[in-house]
Amino acid sequence: MPQTYLTEYFMVCGLPVAAVKTNDGKLLQTWAADKAQGRLRRDARLLADIESDSRVRPMLKTDFDRYCQKHRIDPAVPERAVLQTLTLMKGSVLALSVSREEENGCYMRTAMLAI
């Protein structure tokens, strides 16, 4: 089954945002159109705002694209970042091992991440 996702657009406190969701509606990522940086900026802080804040307004894709064009921002959400998140969600096993070792009287923490 191919990995697919939906993109919805919102205005969050005057900031145009592209919200990436799974087909069943789970919010994965948010990308803010940042005119100061001239690009889409991934912003995890906006995830909670979109799900709970009453000041969030839906936005049409054409309005989002128009804003991006006006400020010379590429409106395309980076597909590679989205697909990586979907891949991690679907079938990866995540294991984290943290150990504490003493070396020369100093404690060192070692972390290993296996995917």
- Which percentage of the chain shows pLDDT scores above 90? 22
- What's the domain count of the chain? 1
Question: Residue 86: which residues within 8 A CB-CB, separation 6 or more?
Answer: 3, 5, 22, 28
Enumerate residues 6+ apart whose C-beta is below 8 A from 67. 16, 33, 73
Q: Which residue has the higher pLDDT, 4 or 103?
A: 4
Q: Is residue 1 part of a domain?
A: no
Whole-prediction pTM: 0.67
Asked if 64 and 16 touch (Cβ cutoff 8 Å), the reply is yes
Asked if residue 52 has pLDDT above 70, the reply is yes
Q: How confident is the model at residue 24 (pLDDT cuts 50, 70, 90)?
A: confident
Examine residue 10 and state whether it is found in any structural domain, yes or no: yes
